[in-house]
Amino acid sequence: MIWRENMPQEKQVKPKPPEKVVKTERVETVKEAPRAERGENAVFIGRKPVMNYVVACITFFNAGEKQIVVKARGRAISRAVDTVELLRRAFVKDVDLKKINIGTEEVTREEGRKSNVSTIEITLAKAGSK
Closest C-alpha among 96, 41, 39, 88 to residue 65: 41
Report residue 20's pLDDT band, with 50, 70 and 90 as the boundaries. low
Helix axes 77-86, 50-62, angle to 10 degrees: 50
pLDDT at residue 27 tops 60 = no
What number of residues does the chain have? Answer: 130
What domains appear along the chain, each with residue ranges and CATH number?
Answer: 34-126 (3.30.110.20)
Helices marked H in 6-104: 35-38, 50-62, 77-86
Q: What is the mean pLDDT of residues 67-95?
A: 94
CB 72 within 8 A of CB 43: no
What is the rounded average pLDDT of the residues 82-111? 92
- Tens of pLDDT, residue by residue over 39-74, are 578 999 999 999 999 999 999 999 989 999 999 999
Share of the chain above pLDDT 70, in %: 68
Give the burial class of 39: count Cβ atoms within 10 A of its Cβ; 0-12 exposed, 13-18 middle, 19 or more buried: exposed
Write the burial class of residue 91 (CB in 10 Å: 0-12 exposed, 13-18 middle, 19+ buried): middle
